[in-house]
Amino acid sequence: MAKKITSRETDYSKWYNEIVVQADLAENSAVRGCMVIKPYGYAIWEKMQSELDKMFKATGHQNAYFPLFVPKSLFEAEEKNAEGFAKECAVVTHYRLKNDEDHPGKLKVDPNAKLEEELVVRPTSEAVIWNTYKNWIQSYRDLPILINQWANVVRWEMRTRLFLRTAEFLWQEGHTAHATRDEALVETKLMNQVYANFVENFMAIPVIQGTKTASERFAGAEETYCIEALMQDGKALQAGTSHFLGQNFAKAFDVKFASDTGSLEYVWATSWGVSTRLIGALIMTHSDDNGLVLPPNLAPDQVVIVPIYKGEEQQRQIAEVAEKIKSDLEQHNIRVKFDNRDKFKPGFKFNEYELKGVPLRIAIGPKDLEQGTVEVARRDTLTKTTLTQQEVLAYVKNELEVMQVSLFEKAKDFRTQHTTRVDDFETFKKILEEKGGFISAHWDGTEATEEAIKNETKATIRCIPLESSLEEGVCVYSGKPSSRRVLFAKAY
Amino acid sequence: MAKKITSRETDYSKWYNEIVVQADLAENSAVRGCMVIKPYGYAIWEKMQSELDKMFKATGHQNAYFPLFVPKSLFEAEEKNAEGFAKECAVVTHYRLKNDEDHPGKLKVDPNAKLEEELVVRPTSEAVIWNTYKNWIQSYRDLPILINQWANVVRWEMRTRLFLRTAEFLWQEGHTAHATRDEALVETKLMNQVYANFVENFMAIPVIQGTKTASERFAGAEETYCIEALMQDGKALQAGTSHFLGQNFAKAFDVKFASDTGSLEYVWATSWGVSTRLIGALIMTHSDDNGLVLPPNLAPDQVVIVPIYKGEEQQRQIAEVAEKIKSDLEQHNIRVKFDNRDKFKPGFKFNEYELKGVPLRIAIGPKDLEQGTVEVARRDTLTKTTLTQQEVLAYVKNELEVMQVSLFEKAKDFRTQHTTRVDDFETFKKILEEKGGFISAHWDGTEATEEAIKNETKATIRCIPLESSLEEGVCVYSGKPSSRRVLFAKAY
Do B263 and B309 share a domain, yes or no? no
From A128's Cα to the closest Cα of chain B, the distance in A is 8
Q: Left (φ > 0), alpha (ψ -120 to 50) or beta: where does A208 sit?
A: beta
**What radius of gyration do chain A's Cα atoms show?**
26
**B458 lies within 8 A of chain A by CB:** no
Report the amino acid identity of residue A168.
Answer: E
- A460 assigned to some structural domain: yes
Which of B254, B286, B318 is the last residue in one of the domains? B286
Q: Which residues of B touch A135 (CB under 8 A)?
A: 27
Do A275 and A138 share a domain, yes or no? yes
- A103 assigned to some structural domain: no
In chain B, whose CA is at the least distance from the CA of A112? B87
- B39 assigned to some structural domain: yes
The b/e string for A427-446 (b: 16+ C-beta within 10 A; e otherwise) is ebbebbeeebbbbbbbbbbe
Q: How far apart are CA A32 and CA B310, in angstroms?
A: 65
Do B38 and B116 share a domain, yes or no? yes
Count CB atoms within 10 A of the CB of residue A169: 23
Do A267 and A327 share a domain, yes or no? no
Do A280 and A311 share a domain, yes or no? no
Residue among A458, A463, A40, A462 at smallest CA distance from A283: A40
Counting residues of chain B whose pLDDT is more than 70, the rounded percentage is 99
Query: Residues 339-358, chain B: which have Cβ within 8 Å of A?
Result: 343
Q: What is the CATH number of the domain that holds A354?
A: 3.40.50.800
Q: How far apart are CA A79 and CA B100, in angstroms?
A: 13
Do B100 and B233 share a domain, yes or no? yes
Q: Do B90 and A95 touch (CB under 8 A)?
A: yes
**B31 lies within 8 A of chain A by CB:** yes
**B153 lies within 8 A of chain A by CB:** no
Q: What is the CATH number of the domain that holds B275?
A: 3.30.930.10
Do B221 and B360 share a domain, yes or no? no
- B292 assigned to some structural domain: no
- In this complex, the residue of B31, B64, B69 whose CB is nearest that of residue A71 is B31
Interface test mutation site (partner B, options A48, A49, A68, max chain B beta carbons within 10 A): A68
Residue among A48, A19, A32, A337 at smallest CA distance from B74: A32
Question: Counting beta carbons within 10 angstroms of the beta carbon of residue B147, is it exposed (0 to 12), middle (13 to 18) or buried (19 or more)?
Answer: buried
**B119 lies within 8 A of chain A by CB:** yes
Do A171 and A279 share a domain, yes or no? yes
pLDDT of residue B158: 86
Q: 3-state DSSP call for residue A80?
A: helix
Q: What is the CATH number of the domain that holds B463?
A: 3.30.110.30
DSSP A248-270: HHHHHTT-EEE-TTS-EEEPEEE
Per-residue pLDDT of chain A in tens (492 residues, 90 and over written 9)? 456 899 999 999 999 999 999 999 999 999 999 999 999 999 999 999 999 999 999 999 999 999 999 999 999 999 999 999 999 999 999 999 999 999 998 999 999 999 999 999 999 999 999 999 999 999 999 999 999 999 999 999 889 999 999 999 999 999 999 999 999 999 999 999 999 999 999 999 999 999 999 999 999 999 999 999 999 999 999 999 999 999 999 999 999 999 999 999 999 999 999 999 999 999 999 999 999 999 999 999 999 999 999 999 999 999 999 999 999 999 999 999 999 999 899 999 999 999 999 999 999 999 999 999 999 999 999 999 999 999 999 999 999 999 999 999 999 999 999 999 999 999 999 999 999 999 999 999 999 999 999 999 999 999 999 998 889 999 999 999 999 999 999 999
Phi and psi at residue A170, to the nearest 5°: -100, 140
pLDDT of residue A137: 98
Do B63 and B166 share a domain, yes or no? yes
Kindly report the CA angle at B473 between B471 and B477, in degrees rounded to 5? 135
Judge contact between B363 and B325, C-beta under 8 A. no
**B435 lies within 8 A of chain A by CB:** no
- A115 assigned to some structural domain: no
Domain that holds residue B436: 419-489
Residue among A278, A272, A231 at smallest CA distance from A414: A231
Do B238 and B371 share a domain, yes or no? no
Q: How far apart are CA A403 and CA B51, in angstroms?
A: 32
Q: Mean pLDDT, to the nearest integer, of B414-439?
A: 98
In chain B, whose CA is at the least distance from the CA of A72? B107
Do A69 and A148 share a domain, yes or no? yes
The b/e string for A128-151 (b: 16+ C-beta within 10 A; e otherwise) is bbbbbbbebbeebeebbbbbbbbb
From A109's Cα to the closest Cα of chain B, the distance in A is 8
Which helix H or strand E contains B94, and what residues bound it?
Answer: strand B91-94
In the predicted structure, residue B119 carries a pLDDT above the cut 60:
yes
Interface test mutation site (partner B, options A25, A35, A36, A47, max chain B beta carbons within 10 A): A36
Which of B397, B432, B462 is the last residue in one of the domains? B397
- A98 assigned to some structural domain: no
- B439 assigned to some structural domain: yes
- In this complex, the residue of A37, A86, A98 whose CB is nearest that of residue B64 is A37
Which of A256, A286, A316 is the last residue in one of the domains? A286
The b/e string for B276-288 (b: 16+ C-beta within 10 A; e otherwise) is bbbbbbbbbbbbb
- B474 assigned to some structural domain: yes
Interface test mutation site (partner A, options B25, B27, B66, B97, max chain A beta carbons within 10 A): B97
Please tell me the total count of domains within chain A: 3
Q: How far apart are CA A324 and CA A99, in angstroms?
A: 61
Do A130 and A184 share a domain, yes or no? yes
pLDDT of residue A1: 44
Judge contact between A239 and A210, C-beta under 8 A. no
